[in-house]
Structure 1
Amino acid sequence: MSLESLIRGLRTELDNGGLRGSFLVRDLHSGHELGIDADVRYPIASLVKVPLAAVTLERIRRGELDGSTEVEVRPGRITTPGPTGLSRFRHPARVALDDLLYLSTAISDGTAADALFDLTSPDEVTRLMRQWDLHGITARHRMRDLTDTPAERLDPTEVSLAHSLAITAGTTGHGHPLSQLDVTRANAGSARAFVDLLQALWTPSPIPPSIGTRVRELMAGNLLRQRLAPEFVSDASAWSSKTGTLLNLRHEVGVVEHADGRTFAVAALTESHVAAANQPEADAVMAWVARTLRDQLRRG
């Protein structure tokens, strides 16, 4: 099968699964890569917590912050399905900055991430990313903005209406009346931008080695493993990743490290055109597409 036929078939499978998206897989040793619309930018939801963690760790390294400092965190008191950790707390808590990094990255706790954003603004996250020569990811807002969508305002039985709005109100250029879904107003990036970030965290780069080591540990501890992990985890491979989910957006980026030494960065940013909150088949399709791209690269 030609490469063109493979990509065409993968696009068809995504469409049949109710998805379109931006995919890229890169061999971190050879630099060879294979993708689908890898430069298309999407709102990135919780994927922004990876650059947030890296920049926070850089400020700790510089002595501007102390990882042992306890921060008083206001309770999230969120009751809608999805959010985790401090986001669901009912009472204030004091948490060390180092532990906020774990909560934000490994369990995708939005309230923990906002406590980090209170110390390092989205603009500062973007500025330091540019200093590391990483130009494809832009942080613009805190995580609490993601909990103010029609899905939170409607009755749980009407969640499909929120998804219908997310699907139908967007423009072909990924503009949207909902600011969280508009790439010019939301935290945004592409599959290529995240693969570039992963490569900078896993291989020598302007990012100090100690920061790469810690972010890799945090991503290895990711507890949300229903999406790409089933296609990449085995006794002979390790999968370190971060997911992002908002309305009809389903993302995951990560690195699979094989026992034979081969290492691949994987980014899958997708949007569904099916008005439903729960779509396990969509997760399965995007994982299969990412795995197929990796397999093609691995065969050389």
Structure 2
Amino acid sequence: MSAGTERLLGELRRDLADGGLRGSFLVRDLETGEEIGIDPDVPFPVASLVKVPLALATLERMRRGELDGADAIEIPPGRMTTPGPTGLSRFRHPARIAVDDLLYLSTSMSDSHAADALFDLTPPSAVEAFLTRWGLSGLSVRHTMRELTETPVERFGSADTHLAYALAVDAGTRGRGHRVPQLDVSHANSGTARACVDLLQAVWRSRQDPPGTDAPVIHPEVAARVRDLMADNVVRHRLAPDFATDASTWSSKTGTLLNLRHEAGVVEHADGRSYAVAALTESRVAARVQPGADALMGQVARRLRDELRARWAPHG
């Protein structure tokens, strides 16, 4: 590692600490495999990032003919009233929705109620089995999204929500355990920034790697649909401001739970370069709304990408 890179990483670590964040970041050049990161192998509960492997498994089963995307599923109302959940999670009445449309709601809108309808068809153990078959490790899929609606936030009254966030900040252990089960990496759906980038690389490179390579084999049609779903992500306030431009596209999935703020995606530049980016963070500030933390995540991820891009540019 060069002295310049060491200085950059030290500066970014200080910026994260000053902003009240602990973070795990990894940026990888999808052409060369070169990468740069901050603690990329530290496990985190991944929250809604698990909806990407869920989409992959569902689409693979559709491709095999085990599921029909046109089949309509009866969805009970979510009736969620706490801040955050979207889509069916807030419906007050039953609805019938096709499996194919549930994929859009789950992945692009991060609708956890839609995701659980998909998990009813392909349970967590089956999703993890697909990841193993594709040669992807480091992501543990242990439970549905329903468990994420049973945190201390739902137990406290609205006037005491800050107590739930204080518990999230203060009740962890050095071994990544936690008194809140959804924040305990041994209990939650969990993974590392490296595992997220490996997954993204498998999805994006499936259109390029010829048969016989050692790369994980995700069917090109499955990968293409997931890329489209991630390109349609409606949550654009976190990393998108630092990566989406007229000369680049940003496709991603976010994950949010109590003091956790994550995003993993791929930025594709008009010059043909593509970079997979994973940012997994936990806040030390006991507050739900932290726009500064979202902005800081994007700034750190962009500066890591800029460092990789600068290494390539002189040879481009």
* SS at 1:2 equivalent: helix
Asked if 1:62 is matched to 2:73, the reply is no
Matching residue of 1:265: 276
Q: Which string of whole-angstrom CA distances, capped at 9 and with x for unpartnered residues, describes residues 184-229 of structure 1?
A: 1100000000000000000034101001100000000000000000
Equivalent in 195, 201, 221 of residue 203 of structure 2: 201
Equivalent in 106, 126, 129 of residue 127 of structure 1: 129
Deviation, structure 1 residue 291: 0.2
Paired with 2:285 and 2:303, the residues of 1 have a C-alpha distance of: 23
- Structure 1 unpaired stretches of 5+: none
Indicate the RMSD between aligned Cα atoms, in angstroms: 0.7
Matching residue of 2:94: 92
Matching residue of 1:274: 285
Equivalent in 215, 218, 235 of residue 229 of structure 2: 218
Paired with 1:109 and 1:284, the residues of 2 have a C-alpha distance of: 23
Number of matched residues?
Answer: 300
Moved more, 213-222 or 170-179: 170-179
Q: Which string of whole-angstrom CA distances, capped at 9 and with x for unpartnered residues, describes residues 109-141 of structure 1?
A: 000000000000001000110000001111111
Matching residue of 1:26: 28
Paired with 2:69 and 2:31, the residues of 1 have a C-alpha distance of: 32
Paired with 1:112 and 1:206, the residues of 2 have a C-alpha distance of: 27
Matching residue of 1:138: 140
Q: Which string of whole-angstrom CA distances, capped at 9 and with x for unpartnered residues, describes residues 158-196 of structure 1?
A: 211101101111101110121110101100000000000
Q: Which string of whole-angstrom CA distances, capped at 9 and with x for unpartnered residues, describes residues 63-116 of structure 1?
A: 111111000011110011100000000111000000000000000000000000
Q: Counterpart of 2:89 in structure 1: which amino acid?
A: S
Q: Which string of whole-angstrom CA distances, capped at 9 and with x for unpartnered residues, describes residues 265-289 of structure 1?
A: 0000000000000000000111000
Deviation, structure 1 residue 157: 2.1
Deviation, structure 1 residue 2: 1.5
Matching residue of 1:12: 14
Matching residue of 1:147: 149
* SS at 2:162 equivalent: helix
Matching residue of 1:239: 250
Identity %: 64
Paired with 1:137 and 1:75, the residues of 2 have a C-alpha distance of: 30
* SS at 2:140 equivalent: coil
Q: TM-score, normalised by structure 1?
A: 0.99
Matching residue of 1:295: 306
Q: Which runs of 4+ in 1 moved over 6 A?
A: none
Q: Counterpart of 1:124 in structure 2: which amino acid?
A: A
Q: Counterpart of 2:18 in structure 1: which amino acid?
A: N
Paired with 2:19 and 2:162, the residues of 1 have a C-alpha distance of: 17
* SS at 2:263 equivalent: strand
* SS at 1:217 equivalent: helix
Q: TM-score, normalised by structure 2?
A: 0.94
